[in-house]
Amino acid sequence: MTLRFDINLSILFTELPLLDRPAAARAAGFTAAEFWWPFGTEAVPSDKDVDAFTGALDDAGVRLVGLNFLDDLSVGARGLVSVPEHAKRFRDSIDVAVGIAERTGCRNLNALYGNRIEGGSDLQQQEAALENLAAATAAASRIGATVLLEALNAIESPAYPITSSAAALAEIDRVSAATGATNLAFLCDLYHLARMDEDLFATIAAHADRFGHVQIADTPARGEPDSGALDFSALFKALTEAGYTAESGRGWIGLEYKPSTGITTDSFEWMESLS
């Protein structure tokens, strides 16, 4: 059984302009990539910008396997799903993301939940999340895509309310029960869970069947594997034994780390032991 590695080009090869990164990834041996929302804070980018983005992937021969809906990460936010005042912007981005996914064959669309609003109502945010995720899953279902919900760590994202696999899965269950959506899954970012001292092996053993995607970085500095404390050989073995593999139709592991030297091409030595 095999795992497949893709490269997150919103955090790697940042020494290059965004549209040059797919070619750099291909030159480094990668055939698949993922991105955060690639259009800044624009919910509806121009057709020219969308064409340039998908064209850069096509020209490089790199497959898109993961894409965020509008996330406002570029201005310090953590997604918009639960933020009532940005509901229209999030909804406007849905058709753009689904359209890109349809053009590229991407089938994983990540919906970052959003930060708590200071002085706001948790109930209102939960209602906004329900409505926005219902719209996202309905649109994604038209092309056979899955909407992902991710847990972040509270150290770096103290206002983000979903900081464990249990919290993410509970929200997925809540939305699925209310909407009937069957295409909502957990984005298991091992780095974020490790920063929260979650037992990664127990999470994998118990919930790998609910993983829509996996992302990795080492702890505590979010560097490449073997730059920190995690045993990735053991984690990869646990994932394959739990059935998270290419043969299952999943098995993508996104490299979402910050190179410890600051230079992307210096950060791939750990992969040599996998060949």
Amino acid code (one letter) for 275: S
The reported pLDDT for the residue numbered 187 is: 98
The reported pLDDT for the residue numbered 109 is: 98
Note the pLDDT tens digit of each residue in 40-92: 999 999 999 999 999 999 999 999 999 999 999 999 999 999 999 999 999 99
Beta strand extents in 100-251 (DSSP E only) = 108-110, 146-150, 184-189, 211-216
Q: Which residues are catalytic?
A: 150, 256
The reported pLDDT for the residue numbered 1 is: 55
**Is the pLDDT score of 124 beyond 80?**
yes
The reported pLDDT for the residue numbered 272 is: 86
Helix or strand (DSSP H, E) at 205:
helix 200-207
Note the pLDDT tens digit of each residue in 201-221: 999 999 999 999 999 999 999
On whether the CB atoms of residues 181 and 133 are closer than 8 A, the answer is yes
On whether the CB atoms of residues 175 and 184 are closer than 8 A, the answer is yes
**Is the pLDDT score of 274 beyond 80?**
no
Q: What's the whole-number average pLDDT of the chain?
A: 96
- Kindly report the pTM of this predicted structure: 0.96
Tokens of 232: 């990735």
d(C-alpha 121, C-alpha 103), whole Å: 38
Query: In CATH, which superfamily holds the domain spanning 4-274?
Result: Divalent-metal-dependent TIM barrel enzymes (3.20.20.150)
The reported pLDDT for the residue numbered 275 is: 54
Q: Which of 97, 179, 73 is nearest to 130 (CA)?
A: 179
Supply the Cα-derived Rg of the chain in whole angstroms. Answer: 17
* β pairing state of 146-150 and 108-110: parallel
Note the pLDDT tens digit of each residue in 146-205: 999 999 999 999 999 999 999 999 999 999 999 999 999 999 999 999 999 999 999 999
On whether the CB atoms of residues 192 and 222 are closer than 8 A, the answer is no
d(C-alpha 120, C-alpha 126), whole Å: 11
For the chain, the 3-state helix, strand and coil shares in percent, each to the nearest 5, are 45, 15, 40
- Residue 48: partners with Cβ closer than 8 Å, 6 or more residues away: none
